[in-house]
Structure 1
């Protein structure tokens, strides 16, 4: 694994055009610097790149629409106010409007996620409540109404309490011994 972390170094200028020549680069972090200019298409030559962080710089222009660079999410590019294009919600001037049905842009330019989570529905909440009710009363009701179960339950609790008490006392005595020997 080959990584290059140049974050938080107050670097200025642009991303080197020949950065793509670094073979087998898996991790590249230029975040929180003062880099400006566009994103070089040579980054798309980094075929082994698994982590890319260009966030919080002064990069501008359109993110190159290469397969390699589109695999990274919005957090890799955030904090660059003049950067636009996918995977950012902000579309570039002159492009046809970038429309993702899961996002809406409000007046202040912030994106709001409108996606509906199909897993969490009314049926999900009903099933969760019913499951909790049955499990709770299945265990608590048995302990409450069955004398032998209640006795066994508290007997187990007493054994656990005794075990924990003995273990804590043993640890305390070992710590005292080691502190006195030093």
Structure 2
């Protein structure tokens, strides 16, 4: 009464001539490679959860939900030098505009007193 998936490490066993996994509770894709490519459908009879070659049941590819690391990678991969330069450029223009407006209002006494420490 085996259950779970068939370990990929079994594909390394080149001396296997026959594989009988009948009437178990195995699930997931059947490993591919070396000896596993030579086994017939009848090696897997009674395992309703198995899929892939040599069975006619195709495996559905299910992607795991994105992890926080994936989200961080997506953020940093789209955050290149162009985005940084755009931010610096916008900040520079905004700073110049605010500086110009403050100097035009001629109310710089608070700035002078702040610099002098009064």
More helix by share: 2
More strand by share: 1
Using CA pairs below 8 Å that are at least 6 residues apart, which structure has the higher relative contact order? Answer: 2
Structure-1-length-normalised TM-score: 0.33
